[in-house]
Structure 1
Amino acid sequence: MCPKPKIRPRRRGVRIAVWSLVTVLVVAAGLAGVVLWQNSYDMDERRVTIRHGGHTLNGVLATPRDGRKQHGLVVYIHGDGPIDATHDDGYKPMWEANARAGYASLSWDKPGVAGAPGDWLDQSMDDRADEAAAAIAWARARPDIDGDRIGLWGASQAGWVMPKVAARTPVSFVVAVSPAINWLRQGRYNLLAELRADGASAARTKAEVTRSDTTRRLLERHASFEEYVKAMGGDADGMTADRWGFISKNYTADATRDLRALRGVPVLLTLAAHDVNVDTADTERGYRKALDAGGALKVEHYPGATHSLLKQSIERSDLKLTLTALLSPRSLFADGFLDDQRQFLEELGRGGPAAP
């Protein structure tokens, strides 16, 4: 007679599988909880609509939860590219820092982004300044915003926009993040910095500089996109007709004279040590020459930061960037960056060194 088969090993295997599944689910739930907690911010957000010249700006207003009836306001001016109101939630750690200082934050989708009407590639820097001035006028009409405490925050390309805004309407302060002074100088600096980072040969560097010089000459004579493609031997290298039109509108941008509108206005200039987009030494010279006499300029340098003021050690790895954005988004930024902006706003409120 054959012995009856033993079933204990099978039961043991089922128990192990069940407990493994339970462990995985518990860990997954824990991670999901961490993600939700880390991406929850101590502020209230609401969608708002701003009318501007027959157009609509789709915005987000983030306000502190401190029970006050009125708050100062930080108006966000985007850098280059198709950016939505929250910059894919990248602005939120900064908005939270503003809220802790008693300031609300206002930002909007660029035209043509996230369903917003229009096309941001049709805009000049003056168009962008008009847009921001309209947003400030809208904010000043709100009972929950202190119209005497409205300032600007802007990154990169916003460096050409914010001084123009200040020339159109009074602003109480400016936070300038990695701004450039001159469009063409910035473009050449960026080209050479990226070639160095790639370890480009002398021959490749010479070819790229020649291509850049050709592009400049085409812009100076207002060449069409078709002429550009022909001059490049049929290789547009990612350039589109819309992008060519945008560059043609804005390649003469230079903040040197426009910065005079910020004299006497408290300005926090934040610069990164590993910025391949903007020549930070050129930017600091320009800002100091224009604004130091008024005594309202404060400059902060961040040794481990990139152009976007993220930690270089994180930005260079897609995996680290994704995991940090999910599990600890405030840690994306260079050490001290968020605290410095919060303290700058707090000093304004106390009438300290940053105050006008």
Structure 2
Amino acid sequence: MLPERNSRLRRALVRLLAALAVGLVLAPPAHADPAGLVERDVTFTSGDLALHGTVIAPDTAGRHPAMVMVHGSGRTSRDGYRQEAEAFARSGIVTLIYDKRPKRSKSDVDFELLAGDALAALRALTTHPGVDPARTGLWGVSEGGWVAPLAAAGSPDVAFVVTVGAPGVAPERQQSWNLANRLAAAGVSGSLVDTVTRTTLGLLVGAGLFPESGYDPAPVLARLTQPVLGLWGDLDRVIPGAESLRVFQESLDRAGNREHTLRTVPGADHTMRRSPDGFQRGDEISPDYLAQVAAWVTATGPRAVDVGPPSRQERQSTPVEPGSPAVQLVAVALLLVAFAGYGLSAAVRRHRSAPPVRRPARLLATTGLLSVLGLVGYLGHLASDGAKSLGAVVLGRPLPWLALQALAVAVVVAAVVTAVRAWQVRTDLAAGRRVRLGLLVAGGVLFVPWAVHWGLLLP
């Protein structure tokens, strides 16, 4: 029995080892490189910060042109650029994608720091096997269209610059234009457009909550001597493409740059995805865009000046005037004291007989308080998500805005009625009541210019 048992154990062990061997042969490696490409993870330092990235290279011998892909705003991971990086690598361009430096908050943006990160990535890329340092440059999309030229203007190590959807205007101007497009696409018209794109944005700028808001890219572009390829989607709704192309052209001409190509890509949105209207982002990257970048970067010899026609731009961007946070804080505080103060004092004195102005006064206090708090909350909500969550739109107005405008009208009517009735019975009012009603009516008077400023009493 023992030899037979040992024989069965040996046969089972052989079958197990055979199955494991087959599994090892058939199973794919844990980190398989894409077909025809070679990947290598890298770590490099920018100042005191360690950044991590991946170099994606063609699996061919020789020295290749190379470029670092510089992020747009918001995204922190290299994976969002992998698809393009692999396409460029298959065209013979070694690419480096990296994780963007972490942000402490939405307002934590510093173009100089980001430019330093891009140059640190470029230095790491030039040491990679198969890279030609003399043909290694920067690619930047959206916000990267501000950062990549800034890095290149300060470093002779950058051989070329490629920008995609690069703004030629200041960030506050670009964002105002973007928000106006988004609101128009949602069917919003009237005073809310100016309230969001100018008044609210201007207050954020004045409060220092919109970092780099006044950054002017033109002087930086006017210092670029390296070859530049600028591409804009003709369906870009995020940045003013026609204006930006013109700023690039004028600035590079001032620099005496004789190697720049500026073109519009048909059917492409802000990030060069194919889109029916520029608002609906597709999954497919424009093949025309990929082909143009590949041909331009891998070209040998000088590149001639080539400027194509700009995209059609329905509205021009305009500067945003900074608002005064101090003035607005004082105004809101006075309104809250006037409206909430009357309600609190009325609650304390509810056992006393009410004067004839009781109902309109309470209506004024209630609607005024709701209107002020509602506006602050609603605009805070729109600012936090970039006016993306508007909800149902009726008569060109989102329902919350329509309700706030109705409340504002009620405040004005209640203020007028309260003032008239208080004047009619002024001789019957005790001194304390006159003071309370006077403060309440004063709040109603102050509310009118404040509400006009914020668009509540405008069509």
Relative to the length of structure 1, the TM-score reads 0.69
Partner of 2:122: 136
* 1:235-246 superposed matches below 5 A: 244=209
Partner of 2:163: 176
Task: Kindly provide the CA deviation profile for residues 162-190 of structure 1, in whole angstroms up to 9, marking residues without a partner as x.
Answer: 12211232211111100112112211211
* 1:86-235 superposed matches below 5 A: 86-87=79-80, 91-112=81-102, 122-170=108-156, 171-181=158-168, 182-209=170-197, 212-220=198-206, 222=208
Partner of 1:344: 296
Q: SS state of the match for residue 61, structure 1?
A: strand
Structure-2 separation of matches of 1:150 and 1:48: 17
Structure-1 separation of matches of 2:34 and 2:178: 36
Task: Kindly provide the CA deviation profile for residues 112-166 of structure 1, in whole angstroms up to 9, marking residues without a partner as x.
Answer: 39xxxx7786340000011111222223344543221111111001121112211
Please state how far the C-alpha of 1:201 moved relative to its aligned partner.
2.2
Q: SS state of the match for residue 175, structure 2?
A: helix
Whichever of the two has the greater Rg, that structure is 2
Q: SS state of the match for residue 79, structure 2?
A: coil
Partner of 2:268: 305
Q: CA 1:174–1:79 in structure 2 vs 1: closer, same or farther (change >3 Å)?
A: same
Task: Return the letter of the residue paired with 1:303.
Answer: P
> Which consecutive unaligned segments of at least 5 residues does structure 2 have?
1-32, 306-459
Partner of 1:261: 223
Q: CA 1:85–1:120 in structure 2 vs 1: closer, same or farther (change >3 Å)?
A: farther
Please state how far the C-alpha of 1:297 moved relative to its aligned partner.
1.4
Structure-2 separation of matches of 1:132 and 1:84: 14
Q: CA 1:162–1:316 in structure 2 vs 1: closer, same or farther (change >3 Å)?
A: closer
**How many residue pairs get matched?**
269
Partner of 1:272: 233
Q: SS state of the match for residue 353, structure 1?
A: coil
Structure-2 separation of matches of 1:213 and 1:315: 26
Q: CA 1:188–1:215 in structure 2 vs 1: closer, same or farther (change >3 Å)?
A: closer
Q: What is the percent sequence identity of the aligned residues?
A: 28
* 1:43-82 superposed matches below 5 A: 43-68=37-62, 70-82=63-75
Structure-2 separation of matches of 1:139 and 1:40: 19
Task: Kindly provide the CA deviation profile for residues 284-320 of structure 1, in whole angstroms up to 9, marking residues without a partner as x.
Answer: 11100011342211122122111111111397668xx
Task: Kindly provide the CA deviation profile for residues 11-33 of structure 1, in whole angstroms up to 9, marking residues without a partner as x.
Answer: xxxxxxxxxxxxxxxxxxxxxxx
> Which consecutive unaligned segments of at least 5 residues does structure 1 have?
1-38, 223-243, 326-331
Partner of 1:11: none
Q: CA 1:275–1:44 in structure 2 vs 1: closer, same or farther (change >3 Å)?
A: same
Contact 2:65 2:135 in 1 (8 A): yes
Structure-2 separation of matches of 1:285 and 1:56: 38
* 1:3-18 superposed matches below 5 A: none
Partner of 1:28: none
Q: CA 1:314–1:285 in structure 2 vs 1: closer, same or farther (change >3 Å)?
A: closer
The more displaced of 143-152 and 127-136 is: 143-152
Structure-2 separation of matches of 1:317 and 1:191: 15
Task: Return the letter of the residue paired with 1:83.
Answer: T
Contact 1:72 1:103 in 2 (8 A): yes
Please state how far the C-alpha of 1:207 moved relative to its aligned partner.
3.1
Contact 1:159 1:180 in 2 (8 A): yes
Contact 1:156 1:177 in 2 (8 A): yes
Structure-1 separation of matches of 2:177 and 2:45: 38
Contact 1:151 1:173 in 2 (8 A): yes
Q: SS state of the match for residue 189, structure 1?
A: helix
